[in-house]
Amino acid sequence: MMRALVTVLAGAMVLSACSEGVSPLPPPSAMKPGQGSGSVTPVDPADVLAGGGSVARPPPPAPSGEQPPPDEDGEEVPPPVALPPPTGSAEVVGAGAEPTPLSEVQQVDVDFVVSGVRNKGVVDVEFIAPGGRPYEKRSATVEAPPEETRTLRYSLPVAGTPVSMSRMTGTWQVRFFLDGVQLVSTSFTLEP
């Protein structure tokens, strides 16, 4: 019991010596004018802004019938031009443009014409074998301003490939995509 009393008294003595948490200045009600760090008169909040400034306010809303004010240079900014969606066309050229016997075809060439590319895009082409099974897929990057067209030629080798060795005759589909969106498809026929 004596040990507990000594501990409590020692704690009280340590706490009374601690000045942490106590303000070094007396409360404002106990201060008399002229005391403290100096005599300072309070400043009106409107006087805080030097040079007679005022409180910042948002600009008033523009009337609905008027145009917004021009830029600082005095030039009006034209409204953004809506770009047309990308478009494409595809055409089989050379051998394969008409139904052709498989033994006479070295390769089939397909031209893809794309416009409306927004600076840079990824073109994917898929060659689909007769029966609907994917045979080959390729990708290429195309760069062009939206107002220009680009032509890409894709060739499907036939002679000496599984196409001729497995006698993959029938109608082939060729699908073209720009950034994952199908734009166009075409077909060609390899006869037995």
Q: Which of 144, 17, 26 is nearest to 83 (CA)?
A: 144
Nearest to 124 by CA among 115, 116, 136: 136
pTM above 0.75?
no
Residue 131's nearest CA partner among 185, 171, 165 is 171
End-to-end, the C-alpha distance of the chain in Å comes to: 111
| Placement of tokens 């009393």 in the chain | 5
Residues above pLDDT 70, as percent of the chain: 67
Q: What is the pLDDT of residues 27-46, one digit of tens each?
A: 555 555 555 555 566 655 55
Instruction: Please name the amino acid found at residue 64.
Output: S
**Closest by Cα among 59, 55, 58, 57 to 68:** 59
Longest Cα–Cα distance of the chain, Å, equals 115
In the chain, the amino acid numbered 68 is: P
Q: What is the pLDDT of residue 32?
A: 56
Residue 1, pLDDT above cutoff 70:
yes
pLDDT one-digit tens code per residue, 55-111:
556 666 766 655 555 555 656 777 777 777 899 999 999 887 888 898 899 999 999
